[in-house]
Amino acid sequence: MLSLHFFLIVVTCLFALVACSVVWQQNNSTFGDNAILEEIKDYNDVPIPGISWVHRIVNPTEVTLDGITYPSAYLALMNGTPRDHPCRNLNAFVNSFLFSDISMAYFIKKYGIHLGHYIVCYLRNFLGAMLVYYGTSMAFHYYYYIHPRSQKIFSNRIKPNWDIIWDQIKLSQCSMIIYVLHPIVDEILVENGYTLCYYTVKEVGGWIPFVFFTLLYFSMVEIGIYWMHRILHTNKFMYNYIHKTHHKYNQAHTLTPWAGLAFDPLDGILQASPYMISLLFVPCHYGLHFIMIFLTAIWATYIHDAMDFNIDPIMGAKYHTVHHTHYVYNYGQVFTFCDRFWGTFREPDGPTGVKKTKEELRKVFNRRAGKKID
C-alpha cells in the first residue's frame, strides 16, 4: 500500500494545480471573431449543457489539429462539433469549472488530444472523489459522534476510536489514487461508442423505453455487484489477497462512515465494474449513469456507519453490519432482493453493536433453531 507521505504529496500537488487553474481564469479575456465559434452559435440542438458554456471561458488558447485552428482547447476536444460529441461535451463542461482553457491546452499539446483529455478527467474525478468522501464522511461523523444525540447512541455501545478512523482515512485516500481510474475506462468506452449508452430520451424512443431500460440496467448492476461481492468472499485467493483488507473492520465499533472506501483499490474496481459492464448490454442514459456512480460513493458511506436506520427492502447499514461481522450474509448493494432470492439474507439479531444478555442470546438461539420462545 502507498505510504501516507506519498498520498499527502499527491493531494497537495493536485490542489495546487487547481489553485493555479483558478488564478489563470481571473483574466477576463474573451474570444475574438472566429468562424468556427460563429458556426457553433447556430447550433440550437446541442443537448444539455449546450454550448453557451464555452463563451464564459476566459484566457482561451488556440489549438491546431489536423490543420484546423480552434479558438478553445475545449472546442478542439470535440473537433468543433459538440453536437456530435454530447458525452464529451458534458465532461468538458464539468472539467471547465476546475481547469482553465490554458490548463486544457497544456495537457492537449503535451499528451495529445485524447490522453490529455482523460488525464484532466482523472484529476477531476480524483478531486471529486475526495470532495464526496471527506464531505459526506464528515457530515455523518458530526451527526453520529459529535452532535448531542451521540450520547444516546453510544450510551450502551462502544464508540469507534480515532486510531480506527485514521486507519480508514489513510487506506481510503491511498485507494482513491487508483480507484478513480475505473470511471476513466468507463468514459473512454462511452465517448468512443463502445457501449449502448445514450444521451437523450429521444434516442431511446421516449419515456417508456427510458424507464424500462433504466430499471433493467439498475437490476443488472444490482445482480452483478451481488455476485461480484459474493465471489470475492467464496474465492479464497480473491478474498485473501483483495477483499480481506476491507474486512479487517469486522465489529460494529470498527465500522464508521470513513470505512466506505477503505479497501484495496482492485476490490473497489471489481465491485464497481457491473456499472460499466452492464452498459455493453443494456442502454442507459449517460446523465443517469453519471449520477448513479456519484451516489454510490455516498451510499458506501451510509452502509458502513453501523447505525440502525433502515427501510426494508433497502440494504442499509444494519444489514451491512451483519455482513462485516458474519462474512457470509448480505452481499447486496442497495436492496435485499438478491440475498433473499439466493439464500444469503440475514436479519440483525437486535440493535447494532449492543451486547446481549444471556437471556437474549438464548432467545436468538431458539428462534434460529425453530424452537418455541417462552
- What is the structure's pLDDT at 310? 72
Residue 15 reports pLDDT greater than 70:
no
Residue 5 reports pLDDT greater than 50:
no
Confidence of residue 6 (pLDDT cuts 50, 70, 90): very low
Shared domain check, 297 and 194: yes
Count of structural domains, the chain: 2
Query: pLDDT tens digits for 27-37?
Result: 444 454 455 55
Query: pLDDT tens digits for 151-190?
Result: 887 777 788 889 999 999 999 999 999 999 999 999 999 9
- What is the structure's pLDDT at 52? 78
| Residue whose entry in the numeric block shows the C-alpha cell 480507484 | 179
Residue 357 reports pLDDT greater than 70:
no
- What is the structure's pLDDT at 208? 95
| Residue whose entry in the numeric block shows the C-alpha cell 433502515 | 310
- What is the structure's pLDDT at 355? 61
Q: How far apart are CA 126 and CA 122, in angstroms?
A: 6
- State the average pLDDT over residues 101-128: 92
Question: Is the alpha carbon torsion for 342, 264, 293, 75 positive or negative?
Answer: negative
Confidence of residue 42 (pLDDT cuts 50, 70, 90): low
Residue 373 reports pLDDT greater than 90:
no
Q: Which of 61-70, 240-249, 308-317 is predicted most confidently?
A: 240-249
The whole model's pTM is what?
A: 0.83
**Residue 371 three-state SS:** coil
The answer to whether residue 348 is domain-embedded is yes
Shared domain check, 283 and 231: yes
Mean pLDDT of the chain: 82
Shared domain check, 297 and 229: yes
- What is the structure's pLDDT at 165? 94
Angle at 314 between CA 313 and CA 318, to 5 degrees: 110
Confidence of residue 26 (pLDDT cuts 50, 70, 90): very low
Shared domain check, 142 and 68: no
Shared domain check, 139 and 102: no
Shared domain check, 88 and 19: yes
Residues belonging to the chain: 374
The answer to whether residue 374 is domain-embedded is no
Shared domain check, 314 and 251: yes
Shared domain check, 97 and 246: no
Shared domain check, 318 and 192: yes
- What is the structure's pLDDT at 354? 66
- State the average pLDDT over residues 71-82: 84
pLDDT higher at 249 or 353: 249
Shared domain check, 138 and 77: no
- State the average pLDDT over residues 45-64: 76
Shared domain check, 91 and 143: no
Residue 8 reports pLDDT greater than 70:
no
- What is the structure's pLDDT at 293? 87
Which cell goes with 116?
490529455
Confidence of residue 72 (pLDDT cuts 50, 70, 90): confident
Query: pLDDT tens digits for 226-252?
Result: 999 999 999 999 999 999 999 999 888
The answer to whether residue 140 is domain-embedded is yes
The answer to whether residue 169 is domain-embedded is no
The answer to whether residue 68 is domain-embedded is yes
Strand pairing partners for 64? Answer: 69
Contact criterion met (CB below 8 Å) for 316 and 262? no
- What is the structure's pLDDT at 360? 47
The answer to whether residue 280 is domain-embedded is yes
pLDDT higher at 53 or 58: 53
Q: Which range of residues forms the domain containing residue 23?
A: 7-111
The answer to whether residue 174 is domain-embedded is no
Radius of gyration of the chain (CA): 24
Shared domain check, 308 and 258: yes
The answer to whether residue 154 is domain-embedded is no
